[in-house]
Chain A
């Protein structure tokens, strides 16, 4: 994320007719926005589509952003509207399993927003490094990016049960959080 003066400088450049400066904003806020969207969508291509739409909408209404406010929160506000429309258009509510995700996402809105607001760009870098340090078996589960069908297939591949796969993943998430905290604590 950008410091306030950096953000203001980039916004000034864009509003004075240097649209390239918007790319700096995209680079700074893109990872956090993608992570936020990934918390509510299964597929990374859907995440990227909506992230792109969000940035386009933000670019078009840049004048309405109030300086001094949290730019990331403003983006996530736009993204939430895009998500709602996306869920409506794709009729996600008719799918029972996604119904849980959709309803839970709605219940977790405040908590996810708080977490997204406090995320640091270093966390993503640390995450990459931490994934490589996971034990092979657990890393394999994390790399497989589970959804309902993949978990079953992975269980078959690893000759274990679907429940065991989810347990490994659950353990992995805890290990990753611990590792990220340690990584960030050791940042020189």
Chain B
């Protein structure tokens, strides 16, 4: 120990020293380069401890300076109008008539006023810019999913699925030339589209040359040729087709019902019934392959988990535990152990159509000294979905811990691909300490390795082997009896599986639960086992 260094550190922090000592230390600092370097090292370590433990800052003034907060209040959802106007300005006139630009801008302005009004009625945290509009999932494994914000999208001869953050699904067959304006508006210059618009997202609009197709809660096909000819085919529900009459201010509209087909001639503004089918099969994207090393299970067992459910086999409605004498996971509702297209077996969760949950057959006594929950998952939607939950045995199943996907981080508006790890002590239905990943950290149709762990209230979340967030909870959880659940917010006694909340859509594999926290090296090693 270097007494001078220690005293200098005390003085640095405002601590008291004997009279004259401060001057001596300053004198030494002036003349001793080694001493300066040593103190700089101590000071730097100290500042790292401070920043590492501090919450993330909220820099509203900075957001205002760069125009984001202003846009939230005065413009629109995700800077929509700004991006719309920028994008419209970039549109070649030969494709999109000026009238449509003004129509789009007027529509945007209407949304602006409405959004601004709504936003001002809500808390500040709901007013942050939506940066990601959709996630693009390729039909092949050649490239991973990626987040899209407003802007052009051009495709060669390929098929992709766009998952919009409002639940709209658009399958696209190239060659295609589009421009994403918002979660409810896309310009299509060329290409074949199939839209699926869920309840609540009605009004999704595809602008076409001189016209627009507004999906009123349907499944429909739209084909736009390079010359601007537009064909529409309503597979289910209803759509509104509109086209501007050349040389006039008039706008011709037609409502199409299920099985109606129509063709629009942008040169004349005519809408004609047609036999032309725009049938395009819905793209079913394949999750990218997860190929774990052959010794993966041995590695996990060597780490001595309290529970290890591989989720690759089902025995009499249960998922067996690989740890001898440890309880199985009971399958409730729409969960099935299935192989994917690559032959990898895992638990498939059926989302809202067939909600399901896996729940531990017997309670688990969470150790006071900490625990870790580790698993692989791949999602198939951008919905808010529970991955893992730790609840007490009380009938309303208050949460001790929760790991979920697609929840909005306060202050951010993009929820797509955001992971959340919540810790509550004592168990409850509200409040607690949260860790969040960055938005789009865990995109769908890709496998991700996740570890959520805590020791003495110190929470850590690791994604794909890297630490992505950590914090100190207000209280350290004590040992308690808990139920482990996977794929839903909770399962209450005698609950109808159809009413499960935040059901997961996707696959989960290789769940391991430990009576201790894992080291960063162990986590890195497990995540790298593919």
Contacts and interface: CB of A to CB of B under 8 A. Distances in A.
B383 interface: no
B49 A176 contact: yes
A185 B51 CA distance: 22
A42 B46 CA distance: 11
B52 A131 contact: yes
Contact of A19 (B16, B42, B68): B68
B16 to A, nearest CB: 7
A20 B62 contact: no
B251 interface: no
A39 B26 contact: no
Contacts of B47: 35-39
B131 A20 contact: yes
B54 A148 contact: no
Interface stretch (B6-14, B167-175, B322-330): B6-14
B59 A26 contact: yes
Given A39-B43, A142-B49, A170 B521 contact: no
A132 B456 CA distance: 8
B41 interface: yes
A51 interface: yes
B472 interface: yes
Given A101-B11, A112-B44, A19 B52 contact: no
Given A52-B61, A100-B25, A104-B12, A19 B30 contact: no
Interface string B138-156: 0000000000000000000
Contacts of A96: 22
B1 A19 contact: no
Interface string B265-291: 000000000000000000000000000
B431 interface: no
A132 B453 CA distance: 11
B45 A173 contact: yes
Nearest to B22: A100
A103 B11 CA distance: 11
A56 B50 CA distance: 23
Interface string A22-34: 1100110011001
B243 interface: no
B29 A107 contact: yes
A5 interface: no
Given A125-B467, A170-B6, A187-B524, A44 B29 contact: no
B43 A112 contact: yes
Contact of A22 (B11, B66, B131): B66
Interface in B44-100: 44-54, 57, 59, 61-62, 65-68, 79, 86
Interface centre among A17, A60, A97, A162 (most CB of B within 10 A): A97
A104 B527 CA distance: 45
Interface in A126-149: 126-129, 131-132, 136, 142-143, 145-149
Interface of B: 1, 5-6, 8-16, 22, 25-26, 29-30, 36-37, 39-54, 57, 59, 61-62, 65-68, 79, 86, 129, 131, 438, 455-456, 458, 460, 465-467, 470, 472, 517, 520-521, 524-525, 527-528
13 contacts: A20-B79, A20-B131, A56-B61, A104-B25, A104-B26, A114-B40, A125-B470, A127-B48, A162-B16, A169-B9, A173-B42, A183-B520, A187-B520
Q: Which 4 A-B pairs have the closest CB atoms?
A: A111-B40, A148-B14, A188-B524, A38-B47
Interface of A: 17, 19-20, 22-23, 26-27, 30-31, 34-39, 42, 44, 47-48, 51-52, 55-56, 59-60, 96-98, 100-101, 103-104, 107-108, 111-112, 114-116, 119, 123-129, 131-132, 136, 142-143, 145-149, 151, 162, 166-167, 169-170, 173, 176-177, 183, 186-188
